[in-house]
Structure 1
Amino acid sequence: MTELVCPSCAAVNRIPADKPRAAARCGKCHQPLFSGRPAELAGPALQKHITRNSIPVVVDFWAEWCGPCKMMAPEFRKAAEAMEPHVRFAKLDTEAAPEQASLYGIRSIPTMILFRGGREVARQSGALPAGQIVQWLRDSGCG
C-alpha cells in the first residue's frame, strides 16, 4: 500500500500495490494525483507532503525575482514529467513563505531538497537542466 498526498486538496490517499500510481485520482477531490507538474505548496500542505507521502518528495525553493529560479522552472517541470510517479515534485516560494525557507536553512536559491520519510536526504543548490536534476535524483536513490 502506497500513501500519496493529493497536490490539490492535501488529502492522504492509499493506493494498493497492484494499482498504477500514474493514473490514480484523489478519493476526496477526484483530481489526478500526478499531473507532470510540480505542486505549489506552503505551510501545512508542504509538511504533509514531506511527512505522509510514501514516495520521495523533492522541493524547489525559489523566488519570483530570482533569474536562475526562472531559468530552472521549466527544467524542474521537465524533470517532474520524467520522474513522476516515482517522486513527488513541489515548489515553495521563499518570499511567500519565509518562515519555511528559514526552517530548512535556505541560504541561496534555487535550492532543491529531497525528502524521504519526512527527513532530508539530499540537497542541491543552483539551477540545473532537467537531465542533471533527474540524474541527481537517481544518484540519490530515486526512480
Structure 2
Amino acid sequence: MQTTEERSALMRRVRSKDTRPEIRLRKALHAAGVRFRLHDRRLPGRPDLVLPGRRLIIFVHGCFWHRHEGCPRTTTPKANNAYWMQKFAENTERDTRKTDQLRQSGWKVKVVWECEILDDATLDEIVREVATTPKVRP
C-alpha cells in the first residue's frame, strides 16, 4: 500500500502532453506524410493534434484517466474511491463538452485510445484513416 506522499509523487510524474502513446502516433502519422500542429491553445480542450487542412482534431486519451470502456487499463484505485469517481466523472464530462464545442465549430473530432496506439495493427489502421481524410478547401 502506498502512502499519500508516494501516491502524490507518482501522480506528479503523469504527463499531460508528449506522452509515449501520443509520440508514437505522431511519428506514425509523420512517416505517412501527414502534417499537423500540436496542442493549439486557441481551440477548446487544447487538442493533442490539429490537422487544419482536414479540419480534423485528434485527442490521444489515456485509458485510465479518460475511462476507456471495457479496457483492462481502466482501473479504479481502491483507496479514496469517492475522490477518484468524482475525478473520472469530471474528466469524461469535460471531454464531452470540449468535443461538442469543437464539432459545433466545424471540426471533425477523433479520439484515439492509448491501448489502440500500442497495438501495431490498430495504429496502422488509424494512420490510414487519418491519411485518407479528405482535405477541405478554404
Larger fraction in strand: 1
Q: Same fold (TM over 0.5)?
A: no
Larger fraction in helix: 2
Structure number with larger C-alpha Rg = 2
- Give the TM-score, by structure 1 length: 0.28
Q: Which has the higher contact order (CA 8 A, sep 6+)?
A: 2
- Give the TM-score, by structure 2 length: 0.28
